[in-house]
Structure 1
Amino acid sequence: MNKLQKNDVTPEHIFYQRRRIIAALGAGAIGASLPKITLADTPNKASLSSLTFKKNNDSTLSLTPENKVIGYNNFYEFGTSKSDPANNAQHLKVDPWTLEITGEVENPFTLNYQQLLTTYPLEERIYRLRCVEAWSMVVPWIGFELARIIEQAKPTSKAKYVVFHTLHDPEQMPGQKDYFLGGGIDYPYVEALRLDEALNPLTLLSVGLYGKTLPPQNGAPIRLVVPWKYGFKSIKSIVKITFSETRPQTTWEKLAPHEYGFYANVNPQVDHPRWSQASERVIGSGGLFSIKRQPTLMFNGYEKEVAHLYKDLDLKVNY
Structure 2
Amino acid sequence: MSPWPVYTGTNEPHDGVDLLPPPPPWRAFDGGPALPTPAADGDAAAVSPDRVHRARTYRATREAVDLVNAALFLRRPLLVTGPPGSGKSSLAYAVAQELRLGPVLRWNVTSRATLHDGLYQYDPLSRLYAAGKAAAGDGAPVPGDQLQDHLRLGPLGTALLPYGRPRALLIDEIDKSDLDLPNDLLNVLEEGQFEIPELVRAARHAPSAEVMVDGTDDRVPVDRGRVRCRAFPFVVLTSNGEREFPPAFLRRCVSLRLRRPGGDQLAAIVRAHLGEPDGYAASLIERFLGLSGAGELATDQLLNALYLTGTAGLDAESRDELAAHLMPYLSSEPADDAY
TM-score (norm 2): 0.23
Structure with higher helix content: 2
TM-score (norm 1): 0.24
The structure with more radius of gyration: 2
